[in-house]
Chains A and B, each alone.
Chain A
């Protein structure tokens, strides 16, 4: 008994000693960053202890099955479609030479630039009664055959076609950087291209593809606008139904927690599936990209295949928006839109900068600190993306208003001056919320490029007495620049489109294009929403072309 007791004390002592030995300032920085990011999530999680509201049993009895069923349907169908669109296109553009390849390369990213609920409206506008399709058929003297897309499959299609670029971007980065060496090796060994794609490239690209897919699925689960318009009840529509219609925010939070668990389960399942596989990345090699020359017929076939997602994800909705913009131009357009574009651009720029800094800090401080628990903790940071924006907004308001009230009280007692809120209702709170929401978007591309950097050079630098920080800027930063820039631009585009967080947390004098588009759309003036949507697309196109150049260069 005594023995055991002293043993425990010994092991505790040992542990404390190790903790003291291993802790450095990076452990503290990681903890601070993780705490800042987790604070809103914790604020919401604490509310879970209150339990769901009294309508919970009502929801379980009448609605939950529908929510689970539809959400799973969307997860499965969207996964299939997104992998089909994303992986094929990225493989084809990085392996083969064909006409318009260079243009298609960046056009394939652009579907991301249109908010998915606007894509949903545009699609409804095309296939609706009196819609564009009917007008065209009438013009050609055909009988109108209506295709109803406002259903579950239609929703899955619309979401997939507007979100597949996440997979395209992440898998293309892998194909461009890694695939050449591997293919060359397998060709030397006499393996056919087709075989080596399925047996070698695809399994190796899996982490990159999955990283993109998880972002897509989180966004699919999160969608509210398109799902309500198409009349499909999902978890997220359920969250808002219990909050807005059943008047129980606590039940809404409970449902969000279930949603987060679902996403967590997905991530764990994927990790478990590949538990025996080790991924190592060749760090150098043939940088010149070798593209296969193929026959004219094949070129045409590939061109058609690659154009398909561009056509349906970008050009078609864009055409519909341009048509609506043309109809409503005189009534809607104001010069203020230019100012608004600048303002939105500014906010997106600031947010993307901070998100990237936080993500990098999280990844590297975890790398530089030596305590295992803290390393794992850093992964928790990405969960914000799984929670609906409106719920994140509550999570941000709880701590910021709490701190504000304390600040106001202290200032009042010291200077007897009563001020307004200092954090809540300002740009700080809004950017803070964005960072939490979009950290996952930045985390993945940065992490995957960081994995490729071998530790030998930075280690050598540190052995020579150069600090972590300096080593990072001199050596690691140039090596992971592509990842950081991809992350920056993805976050940038996401901020341009973001809606629920912005609506709740935006300061009085600040507006974004997405808010403007929403004001029209929510008033059932869908056509009038086209002009601000076109401005969003325009503002997003510039960084997308820039991103593509950088990716192609490296």
Chain B
């Protein structure tokens, strides 16, 4: 019995040790990603087909991946880190986990406010955080800016998800940078006062609640509404068509945007492949799958918008450098806690 046990143990050990991520450096690429979108797998397959480079993926939250890369240190198999917000990429850079790369192509395609100044990371798709309103009870004329949402006018009419969510944290950070700490704190307190219900659910749930009349306005990311319109559930489609889209701050700073971005790991074993991969991500063909199928905005201006996004029209975006969002994220969270935004 003991003999069999030992034999099976050693067999398992040998089987488990077959960690071939480093063997053929030139034909592989290891991606650590926070993006869990369906289209991403399609994209990895596409890249594999096109270049013959095999893509190995680890999915987890960006913070967990950053922790993992930190512990792995110089032996880390990670080549590329992909996150769904610029703040986390900034954090990875600060923790010395990324390396700068030189790519004429990337610099040409990606606008400067959507990437790191020293080329440590690059935004690959873009999304805006916008105001969505109940068409029956609100007219677009009543809406103007994010700042306005904290005023008396919207008392008990606003609903929004928890501040545990990174998109709300980034929005808060942008308010913090565009104004100052005192203003941001007052703003957050005003938002909390205007909430029609305690924060819960995800972005899609906020839209449904607005449509059902639990509140009048909400703040969500563009692609969630786009995806609701494509939903298999007719009730979701009904809710999404029943609400209006408003891009705030068009007269001032522009609508708050964020990117899903990628950077090359500091100790990337397959650096060349990693650069090639990021270049591929912003190419026209890839962007069609990467951005369009998820209703995100492309960072490549040669790629047209999805039909849904086109129907919402062009808008002015906040050109604040996204690194600043990462830099101010922690302060933003502290202010959100202090003002009781759950």
Contact = CB atoms under 8 A, between A and B. Distances in A.
B212 A129 contact: yes
A230 B200 contact: yes
B152 interface: no
A508 B56 contact: yes
A131 B208 CA distance: 10
B108 to A, nearest CB: 30
Contacts of B72: 397, 401, 421, 424
Contact of A522 (B36, B208, B334): B36
Nearest to B230: A331
Contacts of B182: none
Interface string A373-404: 00000000000000000100110011001001
Interface string A416-433: 000111101111100100
Contacts of B63: 243-244
Contact of A128 (B16, B17, B205): B205
B6 interface: no
Most buried by B among A350, A357, A428: A428
Given A244-B63, A503-B60, A523-B36, A231 B201 contact: yes
Interface string A119-158: 0000010001111001100000000001000110000000
Nearest to B76: A421
Nearest to B23: A420
B239 A130 contact: yes
Contact of A124 (B30, B38, B205): B205
Contacts of B67: 249, 394, 504
B157 interface: no
Contacts of A135: 235
B59 A247 contact: no
A85 interface: no
A150 B342 CA distance: 14
B196 to A, nearest CB: 13
Secondary structure class of chain B's binding surface, majority of residues: helix
A237 B77 CA distance: 30
Interface string B15-46: 11111011000000010000011100000000
B64 A524 contact: no
Nearest to A150: B200
B300 interface: no
Nearest to A518: B36
Contacts of A419: 22
A427 B17 CA distance: 8
A282 interface: no
Contact of A469 (B2, B13, B77): B2
A62 interface: yes
Contacts of A350: 12
A408 interface: yes
Secondary structure class of chain A's binding surface, majority of residues: helix
A233 interface: yes
A420 B236 contact: no
Given A58-B334, A523-B36, A527-B233, A129 B59 contact: no
B307 to A, nearest CB: 19
A473 interface: yes
Nearest to B61: A244
A398 B329 contact: no
Nearest to A331: B232
A519 interface: yes
B244 interface: no
A134 B22 CA distance: 54
A503 B36 CA distance: 12
A327 interface: yes
Nearest to A66: B342
A528 B231 CA distance: 10
Contacts of A228: 162, 164
Nearest to B200: A231
B57 A245 contact: no
A404 B231 CA distance: 46
A421 B16 CA distance: 11
Nearest to A357: B5
A246 B17 contact: no
Given A427-B15, A508-B57, A245 B333 contact: yes
A225 to B, nearest CB: 12
B337 A428 contact: no
Nearest to B221: A524
A229 interface: yes
Interface string B71-91: 111010100000000000001
A393 B72 CA distance: 13
A314 B333 CA distance: 38
A520 interface: yes
B198 interface: yes
Interface string B227-252: 10001110110110000000000000
A506 B58 contact: yes
Contact of B19 (A129, A405, A425, A525): A425
A420 B38 CA distance: 30
A519 B198 CA distance: 26
A504 B78 CA distance: 13
B77 A150 contact: no
Contacts of A519: 36, 38, 59
B204 interface: yes
A271 B72 CA distance: 41
B21 A508 contact: yes
B189 interface: no
Contact of B68 (A63, A328, A404, A504): A504
A506 B330 CA distance: 29
A55 interface: yes
Contacts of A199: none
A246 B333 contact: yes
A82 B24 CA distance: 53
B1 interface: yes
B68 A397 contact: yes
Contact of B164 (A146, A241, A328, A404): A241
A428 B201 contact: no
Contacts of B337: 58, 62-63
A407 to B, nearest CB: 10
Contacts of B19: 420-422, 425-426, 507-508
A425 B77 contact: yes
Contacts of B60: 503-504
A404 B75 contact: yes
Interface of A: 55, 58, 62-63, 124, 128-131, 134-135, 146, 150-151, 228-231, 233, 237, 240-241, 243-247, 249, 324, 327-328, 331, 350, 357, 390, 393-394, 397-398, 401, 404-405, 408, 419-422, 424-428, 431, 469, 473, 500, 503-504, 506-509, 515, 518-520, 522-525, 527-528
Closest 4 CB pairs of A and B: A231-B200, A130-B235, A129-B212, A427-B16
11 contacts: A128-B208, A240-B164, A241-B164, A246-B333, A324-B233, A390-B64, A398-B71, A408-B75, A503-B59, A508-B30, A524-B224
Interface of B: 1-2, 5, 12-13, 15-19, 21-22, 30, 36-38, 56-61, 63-64, 67-68, 71-73, 75, 77, 91, 162, 164, 166, 169, 198-205, 208-209, 211-212, 214, 224, 227, 231-233, 235-236, 238-239, 329-330, 333-334, 337-338, 340, 342
